[in-house]
Amino acid sequence: MVYHMRTRKTKKTIPPIAKINIKSYQANSAPKAYLDDLGSVTSDQKKNMLAAGVDPTQKSRSGTYVQMDHNVVHARSLYPGLEVMSTSEALKKYEWLDNYFWKVVALDADEFTRQAHLQQHHGYFLRALPGVKATYPLQACLFINDNNIIQNVHNIIIAEEGSDLQVITGCATASDVRRGLHIGISEFYVKKGARLTFTMIHNWAEDVSVRPRTAALVEAGATFLSNYICLKPVKDLQMYPKAELIGRGAVARYNTILFAHPGSRLDVGSRVILKAKDSRAEVVARAVSAGGDIIARGHLKGEVAGIKAHLECRGLMVSEKGLIHAIPELEGHVAGVDMSHEAAVGKIAHEEIEYLMSRGLSQGEAQAAIVRGFLDTSIMGLPASLQKEVDQAISACEKEVF
Amino acid sequence: MLKIENLTVKVADKEVLSDINMQLKPGEQMALLGPNGSGKTSLLMTIIGFANYQITRGDIIFKGKRINELSIDQRARLGIGVMFQRPPTVRGIKLRQMIQLISKDKFNTDKEASLLNLKDFLGRDLNLGFSGGEIKRSELLQLLAVAPNLCLFDEPESGVDLENIALVGKLINRILQKNKDNASLIITHTGYILDYVQADRGCILVGGKLHCMGNPKEILETVKKHGYEWCITCAREKPKKQYHQSRK
Ligand SMILES: Nc1ncnc2c1ncn2[C@@H]1O[C@H](COP(=O)(O)OP(=O)(O)OP(=O)(O)O)[C@@H](O)[C@H]1O
Ligand SMILES: [Mg+2]
């Protein structure tokens, strides 16, 4: 049981993620009935939702949106001033909403954005009216129940001026789903002085491909906090969400926690474009490879003087297989930008393992404890109640992972 | 409890222990002295089984069982525990979580931590930014939770202020008294800890070799007066029995 700190002799590189044949997935699914009472989801659905942070009992929630395959099965707000409905419903209700579609995400960005436009299957519309501050988060769940389908959603979140909105979104599949394709367009608007805390937990299946296309527009004095957690196996996931800070003093913070199982391919980054004076950004990623491949990207672009931004990526290899490739990018366009990054990829120090083992933990237990500690969610700076929820979701995932 | 026979150990191709023979009876506490770099820590690391310390010859027998080939955790679960001189920092694992992971039976973490003035440290990453004295107390708190039968204390008092030495001494006694058969090896440079912990015997390690075996206080006095060099020649020139051997 001697560990060797040797450099790899074989030069491994991450091959590009295989092209997806969109046509190989079915655009039809068995219709799912609207559920007045969310408690009537099956126990399997419930378990998989819970592992994605979505609680069908709606305890400590301000409202819920659940979409199964191509049907909205539940959409209701429990808090005055918060709106919850499908985007297709919202488009009928609000004429102005058209202006919010394809505004921060470009329609012609790639084949997935085009696909989502040509064949939209709802998506959630979540909105906090001006000044509304709810204690509990809204939750939204995009669920794939049938095997081999394509799900194209278009989501819109609007935190109106001075509001404080928390959102937990979970994406999950039924346990017997093997293959699928999820395309999710998400456009977020954080208006003047508002605060949006967006926490997304992915709980996909081994052969599901996932292509979120997400962007946020953050106005003066507003804060956008985005947390992303993916601990479960997924075939391949590629996303590079972006926040544009367009108002003075706007703040964006991205926290990402990734765990790549053997066979999983994650190409995940966060990008912040700082376009206004005094805007700030922080991008933090923790990536663990247990045999899968991770490309952890980060991109900060400072377009005006007086901005400050930092990028941090830490990777941990726990297997001889797999790869972590950190690609931090800083782009300063004028003098007077203050941007920095730090990246580190390593393996668990064997002194730490031996130390824990000397107290009676097996090698596996010691490793799991260190990995769990590495994936510490307290970096996310969540409100205590939300932190508890996220930790519960994570331990639900972990039970299966470790 | 512990029997070490003709033990020779290499670290990174360098011999750090040569032909060590030593025996600890149940309930026996032994002080281990020796200058810097003489191999004291290496002996402890070899007993617990750290991979860097390769046994090239000899046997370690614990509770009647040869443990040379056992993994670290197997040895720990058999009842060997180490208070480390320089434990690594483990980011992400809080002291409280560590105690929960390792404690055997019901263990009142909060109470024990406050007795050790460590309450504020329970929420901190293990050893991260702990001072010298804080590390000692955190190590002892962990050993208290694990309750080993053979305790290997690596310089329990170094870096500990006078007030805390009493605390450390008391705690070591508590750990040892959990079972009447509990035995220990206590590494010390100053011997201060021996004012609190009753050692039955002492020995000296110089240059990887064990040189003397006898009354710990007497050995300490001799070292203080004449230095370790004298001890080596003393051992060479006179049969060691004539010197520091005294009855328990
Ligand atoms: N991992 C290692 N690599 C190389 N040399 C080592 C290693 N560990 C120990 N040594 C060497 O082995 C010798 C004995 O070291 P050890 O730590 O056992 O001494 P010690 O008696 O505990 O000293 P101190 O009183 O300073 O704690 C020293 O010369 C040390 O440098
Ligand atoms: Mg030492």
Structure tokens at A101: 């579609």
CATH architecture of B2-216: 3-Layer(aba) Sandwich (3.40)
Quote the minimal CA–CA distance from B111 to chain A in Å: 21
Average pLDDT over residues A201-229: 93
pLDDT at A15: 65
- Region A107-131 average pLDDT: 95
- State the Cα–Cα distance between residues A313 and A297, nearest whole angstrom: 8
Domain ranges of chain B: 2-216
pLDDT higher at B191 or A140? A140
Angle at A351 between CA A348 and CA A356, to 5 degrees: 90
Taking the centre of ligand 2 as the mean of its atom positions, its distance from the CA of residue A346, in whole angstroms, is: 28
Q: Which among B127, B26, B54, B29 is positioned nearest to B84, based on CA atoms?
A: B127
pLDDT at B31: 95
CB neighbours of A348 closer than 8 A, spacing ≥ 6? A316, A318, A367, A370, A371
Which residue of chain A has the CA closest to B79? Answer: A360
Do residues B46 and B218 make contact, with C-beta atoms less than 8 angstroms apart?
no
- Residue-level pLDDT at A389: 73
SS3 (DSSP) at A18: coil
Residue B75: the pLDDT is 97
CA-nearest residue, atom 19 of ligand 1: B37
The yes-or-no verdict on residue B122 having pLDDT over 70 is: yes
Cα(B69) to centroid(ligand 2), Å: 24
Cβ distance of A359 and B146 shorter than 8 Å: yes
User: What is the full DSSP assignment across A90-107?
Assistant: HHHH-GGGGGGTTSSS-T
Structure confidence at residue B65 (pLDDT): 95
The answer to whether A352 and B90 are in contact (CB under 8 A) is yes
Contact A352 B146 (CB under 8 A): no
pLDDT one-digit tens code per residue, A292-332: 999 999 999 999 999 999 999 999 998 888 999 999 999 99
In the three-class reduction of DSSP (H, G, I as helix; E, B as strand; rest coil), residue B66 is classed as strand
- Within 96-155 of B, beta carbons closer than 8 Å to A belong to 97-98, 101-102, 125, 142, 146
Q: Is the pLDDT of residue B247 over 50?
A: no
- What's the B37 CA to ligand 1 centre distance in angstroms? 5
Element (H, E) at B24: strand B14-24
In a mutational test of the pocket of ligand 1, which residue from B40, B44, B153 has the highest number of ligand atoms less than 8 Å from its CB?
B40
| Dihedral of the alpha carbons of A66, A72, A73, A78, in degrees to the nearest 10 | 60
Q: Is the pLDDT of residue B113 over 50?
A: yes
Q: With beta carbons under 8 A apart, name residues in chain B contacting A3.
A: 51
Task: Give SS3 for A82.
Answer: strand
pLDDT at A96: 97
Query: What are the φ/ψ torsions at residue B73 (nearest 5 degrees)?
Result: -70, -30
Tell me the pLDDT tens digit for each residue of A17-39.
Answer: 778 999 999 998 999 999 999 88
Span between the terminal Cα atoms of chain B, in Å:
18
**For residue B101, is pLDDT > 50?**
yes
Contact between B92 and A359 using a beta-carbon 8 Å cutoff: no
Q: Do B51 and A350 touch (CB under 8 A)?
A: yes
User: What Cα–Cα distance (Å) separates residue A160 from each residue in A82, A83, A196, A223, A224?
Assistant: 10, 11, 10, 12, 13
Residue pLDDT, tens place only, B183-193: 999 999 888 89
User: Any idea which residue has 């309750």 for tokens?
Assistant: B147
pLDDT of residue A51: 78
For residue B229, how many other CB atoms are within 10 A of its CB? 11
3-class secondary structure, B94:
strand
Residues 6+ apart with CB under 8 A from A320: none
Give the closest residue (by CA) to ligand 1 atom 31: B37
> Lowest-confidence range among A357-366, B142-151, B238-247?
B238-247
pLDDT grade for A4, boundaries at 50, 70 and 90: very low
Nearest CA in chain B to A371: B92
Predicted confidence (pLDDT) at residue A253 exceeds the cutoff of 90? yes
**Which of A99-108, B153-162, B211-220 shows the lowest per-residue confidence on average (mean pLDDT)?**
B211-220
Burial B63-97 (b: 16+ CB within 10 A, else e): eeeebeebbbbebbbbbbbbbbbebbbbbbbbbbb
Distance from CA of A370 to the nearest CA of B (A): 7
Compare A195 and A394 and report the one with higher pLDDT.
A195
Q: How far apart are CA A160 and CA A352, in angstroms?
A: 48
Mean pLDDT (whole number) for A73-84: 96
Which one-letter DSSP state was computed for residue A371?
Answer: H
Give the tokens for residue A195.
């605060």
| Residue to probe by mutation, ligand 1, list B10, B11, B223, most atoms within 8 Å of CB | B11
Note whether ipTM > 0.90 here.
Answer: yes
Q: Measure B42 CA to ligand 1 centroid, in angstroms.
A: 6
Task: Please give the pLDDT value at position B238.
Answer: 52
Closest CA to A324 of A266, A376, A375, A377: A266
Tokens of B247: 């009855």
pLDDT of residue A2: 35
| pLDDT in the model for residue B226 | 79
